[in-house]
Structure 1
Amino acid sequence: MSVIVEFTLDDEDFRLGQVLAEPPDMYIELERIVPTGSSLIPFLWVEGDDTETFEQRVSESEHVTSFTVLDRFDDWVLYRMEWKTEQQDVLEGLEASDAAVLEAYGNSGWTFRLRFPTHDQVSQFYNYCMEYEIPIDITRSYTLTERSDVAQQFDLSNEQREALVLALQRGYYDTPSDVTMSDLADELGISQQAVSNRIVRGTKKVFERTLR
């Protein structure tokens, strides 16, 4: 049975996070990672006001072999990055333990939600982090059968479900809205960018399961 693991990691303990950490007001979501033999290709959604500085900093990194803009949508930019695979890095650990990235976002700290095929792969990943002193902070580990029926039906993360429920309860979907995105962010104790991402991604998952 597959296992979902959620953990956080500081920028300084995540080499890709170090490269993406400037400028600090950018919000970054790691959409997926494609392994290609000796390298990894992360795809990133980025939101912020200073994409020019961000692109220059990332392109100049010694760990990045190419950095390409794939699409622009409102305030978001989708990038394709070719990243040199290195030992003793959390991405190498994810690849070695056959983990699928379900959700990863950050800047000034990263939050990951991963799916592992079995508990053995979870142990393999954890042992890798311990061996190379990668200080992940595991916040939750569970199987799909342990999730709520609604979250399981739509493949929502706990954070996405929480944001959607709060938005519904507070009247965010009413016309006109009773609360703003900023109000929801304050109540959840996260940034406005983060709550916006959770609502957009969560809504997309619900639509994909109900309208197709």
Structure 2
Amino acid sequence: MVAILEFTVNAEEFLLGGTLEQASGVELIELERVIPLGDQSIPFLWVIADDFETFERSVRSQSAVASIDQFGVIDRHGLYRIEWAIDPPNQLIDGLVEANATLLEAHHGERWLFRIRFPAHELLTQFYTYCTDHGIQIHVERVVPLTQRPRRGPVFDLSPEQREALVLAIDRGYFETPREVTLDDLAADLEISQQALSDRIRRGVQQVLVDSLSALEDE
């Protein structure tokens, strides 16, 4: 049975988090995906910043980093790949790779939030055991088993932050024509940046569409 695990973890508990915790000039970092490559798990990430040179310089100066490469910038979003200079590169990420997990969402705040999909509940258990064996302290927020969808309609697998953003946007008339509130106003209500809110709404809407279309295909 497929299951989704949502957990938080302190940055110092894994190499990528600790490395990016020391980076400067950054507004938001989101882990895009992880690619196993030889003996390493290479992380790709989106960085939202006004000064990418400062970010790159601060990351490149750290001894654990062999290289950081930028693949382009789209509207203040820079896509990066980090390669490590040490082995093993990242025990937490390696645990996810070994459990054949799919990264749905990962971003930093006071702590890192991960939403991970496992093809079987046994692999979720394997990952949790892996963290315990390696002394990685994760805080499980929730586990969502993906069973057959109820007849009443689809169940949207939104993170609490995405749900909060979408509910507020709907309540305040953001999706009305014309719009009754601006993105800046909503961001101020949630005390986050306009770009962070835009990302939450975009990812939330995408998840709702994916779940809705999947439910229609199952009928």
TM over 0.5: yes
Letter in 2 for 1:16: L
Residue matched to 2:74: 73
Provide the residue aligned with 1:9 in structure 2. 9
Deviation per residue, 1:136-155 (Å, 9 max, x gap): 11100011238884444xx6
* AA aligned opposite 1:72: V
Aligned to 1:37: 38
TM-score by length of 1: 0.83
Stretch deviating more after TM superposition (170-179 or 5-14): 170-179
Would the alpha carbon gap of residues 85 and 122 (structure 1) be closer, same or farther in structure 2, given more than 3 Å must change?
A: farther
| Percent of aligned positions that are identical | 46
Please, what TM-score do these two structures have when normalized by structure 2?
0.81
Q: Give me the whole-angstrom Cα distance separating, in 1, the residues matched to 2:136 and 2:195.
A: 27
* Aligned pairs, number: 208
Could you tell me how far apart the structure 1 residues matched to 2:148 and 2:172 are?
Answer: 27
Shift of 1:14: 2.2
CA shift in 2, pair 1:173/1:88, >3 Å: closer
Which of 115, 138, 151 is the matching residue for 1:113? 115
Deviations 1:152-172 (A, max 9, x none): 4xx654543442232122112
Contact 1:32 1:42 in 2 (8 A): yes
Distance 2:186 2:148 in 1: 27
Letter paired with 1:102 = L
For 2:102, the equivalent position in structure 1 comes to 100
Q: State which of 135, 138, 149 in structure 1 corresponds to 2:137.
A: 135
Shift of 1:186: 5.0
Unaligned runs of 5+ in 1: none
Q: In the alignment, what sits opposite 2:28?
A: 27
Partner of 2:204: 202
Q: Deviations over 1:168-191 (max 9, x none)?
A: 221122355333334434555655
Unaligned runs of 5+ in 2: 214-219
Moved more, 10-19 or 160-169: 160-169
Q: Which amino acid aligns with 1:165?
A: V
Name the larger-Rg structure: 2
Letter in 2 for 1:135: Q
Letter in 1 for 2:53: E
Residue of structure 2 in register with 1:181 after alignment = 183
- Secondary structure, aligned partner of 2:69: strand
Q: Equivalents in 1 of 2:179, 2:200: separation in Å?
A: 18
Report the Cα distance in structure 1 between the residues aligned to 2:65 and 2:130, rounded to whole angstroms. 23
